[in-house]
């Protein structure tokens, strides 16, 4: 019911922005980054606590109309322990429905899937995210900062201990070069999940990424 209510609020908020665009447009973002994963439980398929890291590539595409957008994102990479004895593939995917009730505020909701994959097993997290993003200009029309926070409305993981609270956030800056059709972004992300309601430990993912954005976001 919470998810349905949020989608309804987003759908009602977008038309109130007026007809700033005459027709739908497409926006794309390409990402390159580095990820650190820390697990204090029998997660990431290791059978115990784990520290893993590795490079990732990803992207997101959106259909944007009058402050309302629908997007699909994907990220993948290979993580390994510092001693290279443990190695896992990381795959993330998400579907997002977003609206801007105010020029500086974006609200969104949608499902998110994260998987740690080996030849013999897959650890899979599935949760519904509710997100809020606030933009703040640093230099008018050229440099903007933002902070985005999210929390899972529901979460599942195929671990015996189960999933507890799942939440996170992201902060970054976006630069628009003069007379260029793209923007550049530098971002830091932190996601934190409790395993077994916090009784069995936690799992934290940190990421630093650089991105190129084409189109209105």
> Is the per-residue pLDDT at 55 higher than 90?
yes
| Phi-psi sector, 82: left (phi>0), alpha (psi -120 to 50), beta | alpha
- Within 8 A by CB and 6+ apart from 47, the residues are none
Give the C-alpha separation, 105 to 98, whole Å: 10
Q: Which of 153, 89, 96, 94 is nearest to 115 (CA)?
A: 89
Q: What is the mean pLDDT of residues 122-135?
A: 95
Split at pLDDT 50, 70, 90, the class of 194 is confident
Task: Spell out where 176-214 has E strands.
Answer: 182-195, 202-214
pTM of the predicted protein model: 0.84
Burial tier of 79 (Cβ tally within 10 Å: 0-12, 13-18, 19+): buried
Intra-chain end-to-end CA distance of the chain, in Å: 28
- Mean pLDDT score of the chain: 86
Q: DSSP states of 34-65 as a string?
A: EEEEEESSS-TTSSS-EEEEEEEEEEEEEEEE
What domains, with CATH codes, occur in the chain? 2-214 (2.40.128.90)
């Amino acid at each position: 019911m919470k998810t349905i209510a949020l989608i309804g609020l987003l759908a009602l908020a977008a038309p109130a922005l007026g007809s700033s665009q005459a027709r739908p447009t497409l926006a794309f973002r390409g990402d390159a980054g580095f990820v650190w994963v820390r697990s204090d439980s029998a997660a990431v398929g290791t059978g115990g606590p784990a520290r893993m890291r590795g490079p990732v590539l990803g992207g997101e595409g959106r259909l944007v109309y009058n402050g309302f957008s629908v997007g699909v994102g994907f990220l993948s990479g290979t993580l390994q322990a510092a001693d290279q004895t443990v190695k896992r593939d990381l795959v993330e995917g998400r579907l997002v429905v977003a609206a801007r009730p105010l020029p500086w505020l974006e609200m969104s909701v949608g499902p998110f899937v994260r998987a740690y994959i080996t030849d013999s097993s897959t650890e899979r997290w599935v949760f519904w995210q509710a997100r809020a993003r606030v933009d703040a200009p640093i230099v008018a029309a050229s440099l903007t900062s933002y902070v985005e926070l999210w929390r899972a409305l529901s979460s599942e993981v195929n671990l015996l201990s189960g999933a507890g609270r799942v939440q996170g956030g992201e902060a970054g800056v976006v630069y628009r070069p003069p007379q260029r059709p793209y923007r550049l972004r530098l971002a830091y992300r932190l996601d934190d999940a409790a395993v077994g309601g916090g009784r069995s430990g936690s799992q934290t993912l940190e990421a630093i990424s650089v991105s190129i954005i084409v189109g209105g976001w």
